[in-house]
Amino acid sequence: MELASTRKALLAHMNLSFFKRSGTVTVFLLSGLQGTPALSAAPAAVSCEAIPGLMSRFHEMHVAWREPSPELDKRFADLLLRRMDPGKVLLTQPEAEAFRAKALKLLADVRSGKCGTMGDLKSDQIRWHKDMETYVRGLASKPDLQIDKSIAVQVDPDEKDRPKTPAERDELRRRLVHFQLANYVSAGDALDEAKKKLVHRYELNVKRIGELDESDLKTSLLDAYAAAMDPHSSYLSGEELENFRISMDLSLEGIGAVLRSDAGYTIVEKVVPGGPADRQGELMAEDRIIAVSQESGESINVIDMALNDVVQLIRGKKGTKVHLTVLRQGTESRNFKIVLTRDAIDLKEQAAKLRWEKVERNGRVLNLAYLELPSFYGGRDRNSRQATDDVASLLKEVVAKKADGLVLDMAENSGGLLSAAVEISGYFLRSGAVVGVDGPPGPMKVLADTDDRVQYNGPLVVLTSRASASAAEIVAGAMKDYKRAIVVGDDHTFGKGTVQNMVDLPDGWGALKVTMAVFFRPGGQSTQAKGVESDIVVPSVFNRDDIGEKEQPYALEPRQVNAFLSPTANVNEPTKHWAPIAPDRVKALAAISAARVAKNKAFDEIRADLEKARRNAGTVRIAELLSDKADADKDKDKKKKDDDKITERGQEALEILADLVAGVGATTAAR
């Protein structure tokens, strides 16, 4: 999240890595460039002599890597290898070690202003991919080749070892080819046609790499060096930066999804509330998009395709349709087609909502408010819709209707404006520190609520999950540290606790995106990597090991500073005082909740699905891909999403709130 409170800053956060060619990146899908000026002449490529200075600029500004080190150099070599051979099917272990040594030598040369050996990088890639193309062509040309349904493929490269010998590599390649053919066949192609398409795809890989020029290689090198520092630092070339700036002027139109690229797959990071994908109801987080087609056109396989190229296939005019072939991993692996109509994001659907629920406790019917906040939206134009205004208005209703308690649901909050997170935190406190932002040259800047009003001072439960993004973590962290609320949800929130700034470069050389600061909660803990831990853990589909900042390559470690809690957050005034929640009370409520959850069959199903997904750990079985169960399972998932009711975790949050309001467990806590 950027340190700015404008719509442009929000779009910058959502689009910042839009044009990266490889690695783990994020993109918010927008419509085509309608109504925008044509691109000017391509900016000049960065010179070889300038690269050492740009590397130094990263170090000058980065919050952690203040100077070069052998460890960072090793990361660079490992990351370059990961990006060039994401599936671990091109190089054996000895070949990979030789490449790492060559990458370190290249880095040393570039630091000295010598780029002569950079061309070897391109030559190596062409040679590797030609070898792969030859293998695929040879296997696919066998007339008796049939898809081996007994094969299981590991699609997560972190879960598999690199082959030690050419024979082991060929076996990995064989399994991969059968998996790729199964994807084509399950999408509707006959086997012979699938073989032709697969061979052509590898031909295009060789052609694409052959078309890379020196500026592409420099961009890849600089970006890999930045990403070795942390997953959110990067380099944008002049051309990428110009495209990025144009993208920020577009309306929020497209399919409404945040994507990332990892190990050759285009993966759904989030489905944006109010977008076409959200309204259609089928696309889910962690789905892999493996093919794309237009209303009338051939299905194009996008595995191993650069993220920007995948984006170009998916984006388009409002009202047109795009067909996605999706690979979903869970209790079983399956793929299926989704048809989405490109459209504008419906801000009404993305806005805060309030509903009322009745829960009985000890013979008393409690009137509980449930406020869902999907994001911290807003813009520099105060006439535009603001999360702060909407939440303030809904809290007035909560008070006017004399709610016995409130659940603030941020379990699928996609983040947004830092200023909105600080202001909304202040609605539940009198005044004082909400979040600290610390980075060189210092000292730490504390952002505080300066309004001594308390919009709501009653019992409060904050619902989170591993999908809760930075701004939601700031609110949840402040509520937890001040003992203002009970935090309920997954074991912890996402954990992106860093701040990135864009630094423009001269001469059309692009820009550096640098992680320059870290967020801290009032209690002194950073939200980085570990997020905000729940007081009471409730099972959800997001509580998976592959979701969270700490799972990103080279994520920064969490930090600690001295607490900066403000004594003015709570005062003994009837309209401003709120009741702090003691740790013993939280412990007692957690025990009561655990007993209730243990009896709930819906939570049993969630736990069973999560456990099976953990055991699968990225394994895809071809027999499951070719099964006819996919459509039935997809429809079942969609039906669950279409139900307009509070989720099981939301219902349990209400039960916990009811326990808090009614004093259930208070005697145990006191004892």
First to last CA, the chain: 44
pLDDT score for 330: 62
CATH 3.90.226.10 describes domain 347-670: yes
Measured between alpha carbons, how far is 399 from 657 in angstroms, rounded to an integer? 16
71 CB burial (10 A radius; 0-12, 13-18, 19+): exposed
Q: Parallel, antiparallel, or unpaired for β 486-489 and 536-537? A: parallel
Q: Which residue has the tokens 């950073």?
A: 526
Would the pLDDT of 479 be above 90?
A: yes
**What whole-number distance in Å separates Cα of residue 238 and Cα of residue 381?**
29
The answer to whether 460 touches 478, Cβ cutoff 8 Å, is no
Q: Is 661 helix (H, G, I), strand (E, B) or coil?
A: helix
Residue 45: closest CA among 247, 241, 225, 248: 241
d(Cα 355, Cα 398) in Å, to the nearest integer? 10
Residue 19 has pLDDT above 70, yes or no: no
Which of the four pLDDT bands, split at 50, 70 and 90, describes residue 640? very low
What is the DSSP secondary structure assignment for residue 416, as one 8-state letter?
B
Q: Tell me what pLDDT residue 248 has.
A: 44
Residue-level pLDDT at 43: 52
Helix (H), strand (E) at residue 23: none
User: What does the pLDDT average to over 614-639?
Assistant: 66
pLDDT at 666: 75
The pLDDT tens digits of the residues spanning 83-103 come to 999 889 999 999 999 999 999
**What's the half-sphere exposure (Cβ side, CA atoms, 13 Å) at 609?**
17
Token digits of residue 590: 């957690």
Phi, psi of 93 (to 5 degrees): -60, -50
Please give the structure tokens belonging to residue 462: 């904050």
pLDDT band at 613 (very low <50, low <70, confident <90, very high): confident
pLDDT tens readout for residues 356-393: 999 999 999 999 999 999 989 886 666 678 999 999 99
Task: Give 29-76 pLDDT, tens digit per residue.
Answer: 332 222 222 333 445 678 888 899 999 999 999 999 999 999 999 999
Q: For 62-213, where are the alpha helices, taking DSSP H only?
A: 70-84, 93-111, 118-140, 166-186, 191-210
Smallest CA-to-CA distance from 465 within 529, 360, 543 is with 543
pLDDT of residue 420: 94
pTM of the model: 0.82
Distance CA 65, CA 603 (A): 43
Tell me the one-letter amino acid at 366. L
332: three-class secondary structure by DSSP: coil
**In which band, very low, low, confident or very high, does the pLDDT at 261 lie, cut at 50, 70 and 90?**
confident
Query: What's the rounded mean pLDDT across residues 115-127?
Result: 89
Give the model's confidence band at 498: pLDDT under 50 very low, under 70 low, under 90 confident, else very high.
very high
For 555-571, the pLDDT digits (tens) are 999 999 999 999 999 99
Least confident of 21-25, 141-145, 206-210, 469-473: 21-25
Residue-level pLDDT at 332: 64
C-alpha dihedral sign at 230, 233, 235, 236:
positive
Cα separation of 164 and 176, whole Å?
17
257-262 vs 27-28, strand pairing mode: antiparallel
Residue 381, pLDDT score = 63
Q: Select the more confidently predicted residue: 290 or 662.
A: 662
Query: What's the rounded mean pLDDT across residues 250-278?
Result: 75
111-137: burial string, b at 16+ Cβ within 10 Å, e else: eeeebeebeebbebbbebbbebbebbe
CA 474 to CA 425: how far, in whole Å?
8
Q: What is the DSSP string of 443-509?
A: -PEEEEE-----S--S-EEEEE-TT--HHHHHHHHHHHHTT-SEEEESSB-----EEEEEEE-STT-
Q: What are phi and psi of 209, to 5 degrees?
A: -70, -35
| Residue carrying structure tokens 């504008």 | 344
Q: Considering only CA atoms, give the Rg of the chain.
A: 26
SS3 content of the chain, % helix, strand, coil (to 5): 40, 20, 40
Residue 551 is inside which H or E element, if any? none
**628 confidence band (pLDDT: 50, 70, 90):** low
- Quote the mean pLDDT of the chain: 84
Angle in degrees, CA 23, 38, 224, rounded to 5: 15
3-state SS class at 331: coil
Per-residue tokens: 26:
């994020």
Burial class (CB in 10 A: 0-12, 13-18, 19+), 168: middle
Distances in Å between the alpha carbon of 640 and those of 276, 372, 496, 605, 611? 17, 18, 29, 13, 20
For residue 299, pLDDT beyond 90 = no
Question: What is the rounded distance in angstroms from the CA atom of residue 336 to the CA atom of residue 287?
Answer: 11
Average pLDDT over residues 393-408: 98
What's the CATH number for 243-344? 2.30.42.10
Using alpha carbons, list the distances in angstroms from residue 426 to 318, 423, 671: 39, 5, 33
pLDDT of residue 310: 84
Task: Give the DSSP H or E segment for 568.
Answer: none
C-alpha torsion 542→259→264→241, nearest 10: -140
Query: How many distinct helices (H) and strands (E) make up the chain?
Result: 21, 22
Q: Kindly report whether the peptide bond that precedes residue 52 is cis, defined as omega within 30 degrees of 0.
A: no
Domain ranges of the chain: 66-228, 243-344, 347-670
The DSSP string of 86-115 is TTS-S--HHHHHHHHHHHHHHHHHHHTT--
* Each residue's pLDDT tens digit, 145-181: 999 999 998 888 888 899 999 999 999 999 999 999 9
CA distance 589 to 557: 31
What's the Cα-to-Cα distance from 287 to each of 199, 270, 295, 656, rounded to whole Å?
25, 10, 21, 32
Closest CA to 423 of 450, 405, 399: 450
Residue 307 has pLDDT above 60, yes or no: yes
DSSP state of 294: E
At residue 111, the pLDDT reads 92
How many Å apart are CA 609 and CA 650, to the nearest integer? 19
